[in-house]
Each structure stands twice: as C-alpha cells, then as structure tokens.
Amino acid sequence: MDILHNRPEEISRNWGWFLALSILLFALGALALSAVIYATIISVFFLGTLLLVAGLAQCVMAIRAPQWSGFFLNLLSGLLSMVLGYLFIQTPGVSAITITLLMAAFFLVSGLFKIFTSVSHRFHQWGWMLANGIASLLLGILLWMQWPVSGLWAIGLFLGIDLVMAAGSWLIIALSLRKFHTGRRGGLAHY
C-alpha cells in the first residue's frame, strides 16, 4: 500500500483516527444531504468569508510592498476578492444561484469538449472520456433547466455527495490500516 510507504507501523497504529474521520465526514455529508438548501447557503457564506480574508491579506501584502512591479495588480486582485467575498456574505442566496449558473455553463462546455475530443481522437480507452463527457453534459443540462431553483440545492447536494464519498474513501483506508496493524501484531512480517 502506498499510504504505508514511509512509516507503516506508525500510520497503521493510528487507524482508529482514520475511522473517526470517515464517521465524521459521513455524518457531515448526511447532514448536508438532509438539508441541501442550508448546506448551500452555509457553503456560499463560508466561501465569501474565505474570499474576504484572502483579499484583505492580499491588500495588506500589496500595501507593505509598494515598490513591487505587481503592486497595482495585487491590490486590485485583493480588492476584487474582498468585494466578491462581501457580496457572497451579504447575499448568499443570490450568490448561490449565480454560482450554479456558472457551474451549469462549465459542465455544458466541458461535457461537449470531452465528447468531441473522445469521439474525434478515439485514443486508448476513449469510452471512459466519452462517458464522463455525457455525464457532465447531462449534469449541465439538469442544472440549467432547473435554474434558478437549482441554485438553492445544487451546491449543498454536491457538497453532501462529496463528503459521503470522502467518508467512504477514508473508511477503506482505515480498514486497510487496521488489517495491516493487526497483521503486524500477529507476527506477520509483511502485509
């Protein structure tokens, strides 16, 4: 296992923490999926806070180095991040609807691009990219056809699904580490 490459005994001894992480992520994912509108609003509010803090830090950095050739670009970028963060915090519902429209456009364009590229080039295993392109295109169409209502549920739904999938990944890692750890304690020289 690649995860065990550097310090297998130390990592496998802490398999319970990986299990706890998977349980926590599953609970958060289930909570997000049970309240997708709240998860969407909270996610946009959190993103706004991050943008506001990052923009402030970027402005401070620009002001502290006024002789730098990238001063104005850095300052303007920081100000834009701050304004965007402020707007996200003040109007999370409208911001979620806007972000969802951008996501729909992204999925539509990337889906069409993947479909076109896979069909025109037909490289080894091109069917996987074709399937991915079709899924992206359908997701973009779904978001676009349901817009602006999709703006209220899409981000929360995607967040919930991502958290549940991450929980499953960490659970598999935790169980593998547990198996490695109990095998090492039992006298097995190698997993």
Per-residue pLDDT tens digits for 102-136: 999 999 999 999 999 989 888 878 888 888 889 88
- Counted residue by residue, the chain has a size of 191
The one-character DSSP state at 180 is: H
**Exposure of 95 by Cβ count < 10 A (0-12 exposed, 13-18 middle, 19+ buried)?**
buried
> What's residue 31's pLDDT?
93
Averaged pLDDT of the chain: 85
Mean pLDDT for the stretch of residues 4-25: 75
Q: What is the pLDDT of residue 67?
A: 84
pLDDT at 144 over 90: yes
Going from N- to C-terminal start, the domains of the chain cover 8-180
